[in-house]
Amino acid sequence: FIFFIELGEYIDRRCVYYRKPLVDSGTLGTKASVQVVVPHLTESYSSTRDPPDPSIPMCLLHNFPNLIEHTIQWARDNFAGLFTIPAQQVEEYQRNPGEFAQRTSKNLSEYDRNEIIENVQRSLGSDRPKDFLDCIKWSRNLFQQQFHNTIAQLLYNFPHDHKTTAGERFWSGNKRCPHVLNFDVNNRTHLDFIVAASNLLAHIYFIEQIRDREYIAEQVSKIKVQEFQPKSGVQIFENDEQLKTDMEKKRRKNSIIEDDQTEQEKINKLLNRLPKHNEIRSINIR
């Protein structure tokens, strides 16, 4: 697989120079592709460019998915947001706090900056497990949040019989009305999620992994999760235009405050929101 266009073009130039064949394969959602390049017989890898991949609107992806491609993209983004990106950000912070703060304070929106800070705070604080049982608890709460609470809040904002301002049914056409999942330890798919998520989290924090499904099922059955209480005032955007408008308002509001701050003041403010470096230096994470 060639993961980056720049890397692909470099390999292609080497293959052309040394007259070597090249095979490139890749996937996009449910589709797969392969390209065979043969010297003096086919065009080279760099001869043509693929059209840009169509992006899926964020609101559609998180609130109103209706195609299998949407669920695949959601799962991929979710995996990276849980098990890849936060660990990378923590490693960068541990390696050089000052450089991390300087880079984060520049050229980022307030939304992106807060997301990075919260990732580091959670990874080194509330989400940091001490043993495998903590990993199971984290996974059980994650299941509750993603497959029950988030959907319950969506249905609280837009009930099954909700109608638009035009008097039409809100849940119709491409908007498929979802339903909450109540965790069932006897449901194989539900337990698969707990087993996988627990072991992935354990791997990140160098905790010994456990693959014994009976043991995990026994432990997760003992966990009591907080009962969902709908929140009033939670804004769920119906489309990306509404989301962009809201983010632009927040950006303007924050830019007014930040315009009066020097670059060093911004960096110090960011560092004050992060865990003290000398307290987390010994934490191993990957």
Owner of token pair 């209706």: 66
Catalytic hit among 15, 59, 135, 177: 59
**What's the Cα-to-Cα distance from 285 to each of 87, 231, 264, rounded to whole Å?**
7, 34, 29
CB-based contacts of 21, cutoff 8 Å, min separation 6 = 15, 36, 37, 38, 39
59 is catalytic: yes
Residues with a catalytic annotation lie at 59
